[in-house]
Amino acid sequence: MLSHGLSLVDHGGQGSPLILLHGFLGSGDDWLSVLPELKNKYHCYTIDLPGHGSSGGFSDEISAEADAFAGISDRVHRLLSEEGLLPATVMGYSLGGRIALGFASHYPDDVELLILEGANPGLKTERERQERIDSDSRWSQRFRAEPLKDVLKDWYRQPVFSSLTEEQRNKLVKQRSIDNDGSLLADAMDLLSLGRQSDWWHVSSQLTCNVVYIVGERDNKFLAIAEALKKEAFKKNGKVCKAVVADAGHNAHRDNPKDFLVSLFSAECLKG
């Protein structure tokens, strides 16, 4: 179903709604490896974010907004509300995790559980934000001007993807080159740059629901973020726990689906 410029797919299952948000370059299909087990506990839905999958490009309305994250959160909320899917558990990977965090910031009463996989809560200084905007702008220019396959070869050489084997890297480049449009990715890069995202470090500690931050054991940058979020929440009595996935890098649910599910369902703040 396509509504509010977003593609929502009902995968079925048992229990309360679970909304799954993919990362940059991905689509709802990226969750297929973990959906069978998730459906034993939740009624699962995937959403393709703007510029990805079946959702097409960004609307002129979102493109013109000062805060694209707020615009997407609003559209996701309207879509889920119209379908009677709120409140829900919301899980997002990387870019999807950042969208999930923004959604929880704007609509905290509609989130029963927030699950973040390798998601950055935001940059804390103006200098960091501007440097990230400049870096993302260089990438977006390449996405618009160069063959997608060539850009992706360099994209997957970034430090955050250092845990990938050469075989895994080549497979991703091939798959993502087929599944994506360079100009739409460039729009996503420009509008959803981490440098344009609000500082959401405080959000997880202010929510009344539990927050699970799940991360691959080889994803050192985001392991540190997970620990920092726990400490921030502890100071403010928030309910944040870290779940570490063995033998996995940044995209833990792709690298090790089995242990991803084990780590998620055994997360400390979900016990009892």
Query: What would the pLDDT profile of 24-73 be if each residue is shown by its tens digit?
Result: 999 999 999 999 999 999 999 999 999 998 887 887 666 656 688 988 99
224 located within any domain: yes
Q: What is the CA radius of gyration of the chain?
A: 17
Does residue 29 form part of some domain? yes
Residue 26 lies in a domain: yes
- 117, 93 contact by CB (below 8 A): yes
- What does the pLDDT read at residue 270? 76
Residue 154 placed within a domain: no
The per-residue pLDDT for range 202-257, each reduced to its tens digit, is 888 888 899 999 999 999 999 999 999 988 876 666 788 999 999 999 999 999 99
The two three-digit tokens of residue 223, written as one number: 């392991």
| Angle value at C-alpha 220, between 112 and 49, nearest 5 degrees | 45
The answer to the question of residue 220 being in a domain is yes
pLDDT value of residue 41 = 95
Residue 130 has a pLDDT of 97
Structure confidence at residue 65 (pLDDT):
66
pLDDT of residue 66: 67
Residue 130 counted as domain residue: no
Domain count, the chain: 1
Residue whose C-alpha is closest to residue 71's, from 63, 83, 82, 80: 63
Structural domain for 84, as ranges: 2-124+198-270
Calculate ∠ Cα 50-158-232, nearest 5°.
Answer: 75
For residue 13, the cross-strand partners are 43
Whichever domain contains 67, its CATH number is 3.40.50.1820
Domain membership flag for residue 9: yes
Q: Specify if 187 maps to a domain.
A: no
Residues 188-215: tens digit of each pLDDT = 999 999 999 999 998 888 888 999 999 9
Full-model pTM: 0.95
What tens digit of pLDDT does each residue of 117-170 get?
A: 999 999 999 999 999 999 999 999 999 999 999 999 999 999 999 989 999 999
Residues ≥6 apart with Cβ < 8 Å to 271: none
Question: Cα–Cα distance between 169 and 173 in angstroms, integer?
Answer: 6
CB 212 within 8 A of CB 269: yes
Q: Is the pLDDT assigned to residue 176 strictly greater than 80?
A: yes
C-alpha of 188 from chain center: 13
